[in-house]
Amino acid sequence: MVAAALLILVYVIAVLTPWGQRWENAALTGSGRASPDEQAQALDALAAIQIWSLAVALAGIAVIGLLRRQILTTIVALAVVLGGAGGAEVLKRWVLPRPELFAAPVDLIQNSFPSGHTAIAMTTMVAVFLVVPYRWRGWAMFIVMTWATSIGQYTVTAHWHRLSDTVGADLMALILGSVAAYWLHRRGLVHVSEQRRYGGRVVYVALATILGLVSLALGTLLAWVSIDQELASGSGDHNAFLATQVLAGAFSTAAALVYWATWHRLEITGSSELAIDGHSRRP
């Protein structure tokens, strides 16, 4: 519910207000000043998210889940990714329009809320989180979370999306992940883990938290400077771009850590056989 309310709030502020549109348009304009190397790196990362790579990711998630004999969990995890990809397109094309509140170039008024690439990356992270065993969760998140939280930042660098687009996609992933967790819990598949704590995992979470907080503080400062410059002389587009770059990564990291925190010492265990009379059957 909180993520859904925040999704609506972000849409209203960034898309339905003239000053929200103007600031994000300034950031898009400022993205033209990104270095060629930055843009090339961003485009390469985004180019990897294609139909074939999505199919490979879904196949990998399915293999992990089925090897663990968790049929229902596997189905739910796959549904989260497909829901993220399809849901972003539905919202962007038909549900959440971007009204033209003031004159702007055509490439700045096209609707892009929420970001499909960010939604796919973040829901893939959620799906991996659901299917991997507890003891491998840290390694899985080190690889997948590090990749997923960078995608929103890359879409901003590549001039593909606004900050609000990436934040909206982060919140979509949280909503779908929360629904999945609630459903699995209701089926009796979520249990407290009795395994030992893993020091490396704690270090990774601590470093990610510190990086996220520093990025949030820096991004907020840059946003404030860009707004002040825009009001004074209309030249705050570069700082607005830098702010959205940094904040996109910060908010994606925050969303990932929040979801991880809701699973503290919890895991999906047992054989997720098809239910009989509303209860999962376990060996």
Q: Does residue 277 lie within any of the structural domains? A: no
In this prediction, residue 281 carries a pLDDT of: 45
Mean pLDDT of 73-99: 95
Q: Does residue 195 lie within any of the structural domains? A: yes
In this prediction, residue 277 carries a pLDDT of: 40
In this prediction, residue 197 carries a pLDDT of: 72
User: Percentage of residues in the chain with pLDDT exceeding 70?
Assistant: 93
Question: Which residues, 6 or more positions from 73, have their beta carbon under 8 angstroms from its beta carbon?
Answer: 65, 130, 131, 184, 189, 268, 272
Q: Does residue 275 lie within any of the structural domains? A: no
In this prediction, residue 100 carries a pLDDT of: 87
What is the C-alpha to C-alpha distance for residues 252 and 167, in angstroms, rounded to an integer? 7
In this prediction, residue 192 carries a pLDDT of: 92
Q: How remote is the C-alpha of 187 from its chain's centroid?
A: 26
- Domain extent, residue 34, equals 2-268
pTM: predicted TM-score of the whole model, two decimal places: 0.92
In this prediction, residue 195 carries a pLDDT of: 77
Query: Based on the structure, what is the number of domains in the chain?
Result: 1
Quickly count: other Cβ atoms within 10 Å of residue 13's Cβ. 12
Nearest to 194 by CA among 251, 238, 135: 135
Q: Does residue 234 lie within any of the structural domains? A: yes
The string of pLDDT tens digits covering residues 155-198 is: 999 999 999 999 999 999 999 999 999 999 999 999 998 877 77
Question: Which residues, 6 or more positions from 128, have their beta carbon under 8 angstroms from its beta carbon?
Answer: 61, 64, 77, 140, 141, 144
Question: Which CATH number belongs to the domain containing residue 251 in this structure?
Answer: 1.20.144
What is the C-alpha to C-alpha distance for residues 216 and 167, in angstroms, rounded to an integer? 13
Nearest to 184 by CA among 257, 254, 275: 275
> How would you classify the pairing of strands 266-268 and 190-192?
antiparallel
Residue 282 has pLDDT above 50, yes or no: no
In this prediction, residue 34 carries a pLDDT of: 87
Q: Does residue 57 lie within any of the structural domains? A: yes
In this prediction, residue 235 carries a pLDDT of: 66
Q: Does residue 249 lie within any of the structural domains? A: yes
In this prediction, residue 231 carries a pLDDT of: 54
Q: Does residue 282 lie within any of the structural domains? A: no
Handedness of CA 131, 135, 136, 141 (dihedral sign): positive
Q: Does residue 210 lie within any of the structural domains? A: yes
User: Percentage of residues in the chain with pLDDT exceeding 90?
Assistant: 77
Confidence of residue 271 (pLDDT cuts 50, 70, 90): low
More confident position, 1 or 135:
135
Cβ pair 115, 88 in contact under 8 A = yes
The string of pLDDT tens digits covering residues 182-191 is: 999 999 999 9
What is the C-alpha to C-alpha distance for residues 64 and 131, in angstroms, rounded to an integer? 6
Confidence of residue 280 (pLDDT cuts 50, 70, 90): very low
What is the C-alpha to C-alpha distance for residues 188 and 56, in angstroms, rounded to an integer? 30
The string of pLDDT tens digits covering residues 131-152 is: 999 999 999 999 999 999 999 9
What is the C-alpha to C-alpha distance for residues 272 and 251, in angstroms, rounded to an integer? 33
Among the ranges given (21-25, 82-86, 210-214, 247-251), the one the predictor scored with the smallest mean pLDDT: 21-25
